[in-house]
């Protein structure tokens, strides 16, 4: 009798042990399944947020092209933005768009709030039909772009005179107020003091695309700030006779 009882107890122990193992296995499976579903929902949530953010960053534009230089386009209707075309048009370059009515979509990023990277451009032909002339296939590259933070690093050259070269020779970049004179290939900046009197001239060797783009945008103004890369000082004998102080490349032009 005792033997039968012992066998019965051992049998129940094995059954209980097996049941516990099965329950534990089920719980582990349930936790894994719940975790997988939660991760999947989280990933779907992130994907949806990214899609929403991308859609919110797409801005449509339409208007007449006033200025187009290099990869930069200005249309008054796209207030606050400089439009950037990365890559070539299907025919010609962006200068062919000046005076034409265009429309399209661009992408805005918080890192460069004044730049709209163009994704597509359509141009209206003489019949009033829209024709696609550009679809972006490259990442935006802005090697000559100067944002507000970069412009703040340009010191103002104050109280300049042609006979004091130390005022500019210890600087690599600077900001001067004046007006552009001359013609293409022979431009000079007439530097003005706070009373509007000329204190000297700067010989312009080159403009970056971004620089000349802004000069053309400001065509309604005859005086503004030039952000320049300072180069060689003009020889004293020439400087004394012409008031030309130094050579420079123009990187940007603005009202402040």
Q: What residue segments make up the domains of the chain, in order of their start? A: 57-135, 148-254
Whether the Cβ atoms of residue 75 and residue 63 lie closer than 8 Å to each other: yes
The separation between the first and the last C-alpha atoms of the chain, rounded to the nearest angstrom, is: 107
β strands within 36-137, DSSP E: 58-69, 72-75, 82-84, 101-109, 112-124, 130-135
Quote the pLDDT of residue 205.
98
pLDDT at 199: 95
148-254 has which CATH code? Answer: 2.40.50
pLDDT at 19 (0 to 100): 57
Write down the pTM of the prediction: 0.77
pLDDT at site 39 = 42
CATH of 57-135, picked from 2.20.28, 3.40.1000, 2.40.50, 3.40.50, is 2.40.50
Q: Could you report the per-residue pLDDT of 6-47, keeping only the tens digit for each?
A: 334 445 455 555 555 555 655 555 454 445 444 444 454 444
CA distance 173 to 144: 14
User: Which residue stretches of the chain have pLDDT < 70?
Assistant: 1-56
Angle at 101 between CA 97 and CA 106, to 5 degrees: 80
Domain 57-135 matches domain 148-254 at the CATH topology level: yes
What's the confidence (pLDDT) of residue 21? 55
> What local confidence, expressed as pLDDT, does residue 218 receive?
95
């Amino acid at each position: 009798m005792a033997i039968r009882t012992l066998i019965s107890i051992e049998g129940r122990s094995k059954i209980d042990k097996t049941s516990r193992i099965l329950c534990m296995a089920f719980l582990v499976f349930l936790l894994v399944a719940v975790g997988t579903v939660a991760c999947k929902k989280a990933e779907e949530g992130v994907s949806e947020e990214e899609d929403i953010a991308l859609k919110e960053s797409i801005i449509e534009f339409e208007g007449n092209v006033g200025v187009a230089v290099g990869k930069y386009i200005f249309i008054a209707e796209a207030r606050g933005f400089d439009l950037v075309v990365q890559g070539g048009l299907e025919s010609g370059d962006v200068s062919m768009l000046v005076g034409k009515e265009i429309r399209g979509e661009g992408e805005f990023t918080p890192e460069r709030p004044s730049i709209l990277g163009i994704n597509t451009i359509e141009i209206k032909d003489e019949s009033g039909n829209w024709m696609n002339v550009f679809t972006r296939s490259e990442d935006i590259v802005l090697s000559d772009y100067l944002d507000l933070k970069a412009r703040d690093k340009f010191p103002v050259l104050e109280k300049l005179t042609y006979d004091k070269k130390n005022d500019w020779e210890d600087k690599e970049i600077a900001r001067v107020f004046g007006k552009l004179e001359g013609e293409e290939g022979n431009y000079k900046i007439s530097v003005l003091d706070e009373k509007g009197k000329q204190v000297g001239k700067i010989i312009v060797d080159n403009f970056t695309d971004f620089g000349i783009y802004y000069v053309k945008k400001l065509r309604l103004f005859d005086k503004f700030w030039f952000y320049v890369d300072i180069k060689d000082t003009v020889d004293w004998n020439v400087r004394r006779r012409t008031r030309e102080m130094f050579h420079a490349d123009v990187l940007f032009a603005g009202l402040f």
